[in-house]
Amino acid sequence: MNAITLRVKNAPGFRVDGSKLLPAALAAVSPAELPRIELQGAGEKCALGDLFDIAQADAGTPSLTIEGDVQWLDRAGANMSEGTLTIHGGAGDYAGMKMSGGELHIYGDAGLFAACEMRGGRLTVQGNAGDFAAGALPGDMEGMTGGTLAIHGGAGARLADRMRRGTVLVGGDAGDFAASRLVAGTVCIGGKVGAHLGYGMRRGTVLLSNAPARIPPTFTEGGHGFDVFWLLFTRILAREIAPGFACFATLAGNVLPRRYAGDLAVDGRGELLIANS
C-alpha cells in the first residue's frame, strides 16, 4: 500500500469535487497515472498534477495527506470506507459525506454539511464546522447513521439535523436548531447553544456542558436512575476533546446532570442532560 502526499501547488479559481481522492483508491493507481487523474470542477475539469505536487512512500495501510489550505475542495473523504485521509489546512463542503469507515482528520475548518449522512468511521475537525454538520442532504430523511464526528471548535446551525445514530462531539459553541429532529444518537456540546435546541427531537441524548439561555417549553424536567450510565459516559467524554469536556473528569460520580425529556410536541422521548446548571 502507498502513503501519498499532495502539496497544494496551484489553487483553482473555482470549486473542485475531491470525492475521487480516497486513500485506498489512489494507492492502486500507478505513479505515472496519478498526476493525470481528472477532478471535476465548476464547469471544467482539472488534472491532479496541475493542482498538487505529488509524493509517494510505502506504508502498511493506505493513507493520503493533503498539505495546504483546500477550502475549494469539496467532498473530501466522501464515501470513504478505509484508510486515513489527513488535511493540514481548511477543507470545503461535504467533507466526510456518507463515509462508512476509516479516519478523516482536518487540521483547520470544515465547510457546510461535514459528515452529512455519515455511516461509520471517524471525522475529526480541529477548527470549526459550518451549518448542517452530521445532518441530512436536502430532501433526504436521515442524517448521520453511525460513526463519530469530533469538532474541536464550534459548529454552525442545524447540527445533527435528522441524525439517527452515532456520536457528535463539539468542543465549542453550536448554532441555532442544534439536534433538530434528532431520531437517535448522542450529541455533546461543550460551549453555548443557539435558539430552538432539540426542535422536533424524538429520541436520542443531547448533553450540554453549560445551561442554555432558555429551556424549550416542550421539554419537561425529571428522571433518575442513570447514575451508572453517567459515570461511564463522562469518563469517555473526558478523554475526547479538551477543554470542552475536561470538566467531566471531575463531575463524574460527584454531580448528576439535570435531565429533561422532549420534544413533547412530537411525543418525543429524547433526553436533554445539562451538566453545569
pTM: 0.93
The C-alpha cell 413533547 sits at: 264
Residue 226: strand, helix, or coil:
coil
In angstroms, the CA 270 to CA 152 distance is: 25
Q: Which pLDDT belongs to residue 251?
A: 61
On the question of pLDDT at 253 being above 70, the answer is: no
Residue 231 CB partners (closer than 8 Å, separation 6+) = 252, 253
Better pLDDT: 87 or 249: 87
Q: Which pLDDT belongs to residue 60?
A: 76
Q: What count of residues does the chain have?
A: 277
Residue 62: which of 16, 21, 108, 123 has the closest Cα? 21
Alpha-helical segments (H) within the chain: 23-27, 48-51, 227-238, 248-251
Over residues 86-132, the pLDDT tens digits come to 999 999 999 999 999 999 999 999 999 999 999 999 999 999 999 99
Q: Tell me the pLDDT of the chain averaged across its residues.
A: 91
Q: Which pLDDT belongs to residue 245?
A: 76
Over residues 135-168, the pLDDT tens digits come to 999 999 999 999 999 999 999 999 999 999 999 9
CB 275 within 8 A of CB 256: no
Domain boundaries, the chain: 109-276
Q: How many CB atoms lie within 10 A of CB 60?
A: 7
